[in-house]
Amino acid sequence: MEWMNIEKISSFIWDERESNFSEIKIDNYTLKNINAGLEEISDLKQKCLKKLLNQKDNYIENVMLILETEAKIFNILGILIYCEFNKNNTLQTYQEKEFRYAFVDYITDIENYAHAYAEFGILPYFYDKNVNSMRGNFM
């Protein structure tokens, strides 16, 4: 697992869009918004890594920073995967509506996305490896 590997995330977005939409629509609006989202994800990752390097000994704050960054990134991922884009519906307009749920969804929905996001997210990786594997032992 490589944390927030942008190539894996990009492939994942396109694969998921293909499986979620009966007809995958690749128009300028979609390309523009997905590229903007990938750029924002990359920026969030880089800002997080930079902060982590500057506060090496503050372990609790570091974990909080990683979790907060993942929540924001997964919120963007959800938009890029499930939303249709056009002149009036952009990444930004969806973020304005959806961001307030980012942190709650990150925690409460982990069971639903852990396996799919485990290749690039720390909490999903932990959940998939530890919780899901433990559940498998009891079933």
* pLDDT band at residue 21 under the 50/70/90 scheme: confident
Residue 57 has pLDDT above 90, yes or no: no
* pLDDT band at residue 8 under the 50/70/90 scheme: very high
Mean pLDDT of all residues in the chain? 91
Residue 19 lies in a domain: yes
Residue 115 lies in a domain: no
Output the six-digit token pair for 137.
């032992």
Residue 104 lies in a domain: yes
Residue 6: how many other CB atoms lie within 10 Å: 14
Residue 133 lies in a domain: no
Sequence-distant (≥ 6) Cβ neighbours of residue 14 within 8 angstroms:
34
- Number of domains comprising the chain: 1
Residue 139 lies in a domain: no
Residue 78 lies in a domain: yes
Report yes or no: 76 and 37 within 8 Å, Cβ to Cβ: yes
Residue 137 has pLDDT above 60, yes or no: no
Residue 118 lies in a domain: no
Domain ranges, residue 27: 6-110
What are the respective helix, strand and coil percentages of the chain, to the nearest 5?
80, 0, 20
Residue 1 lies in a domain: no
**How much is the pTM?**
0.89
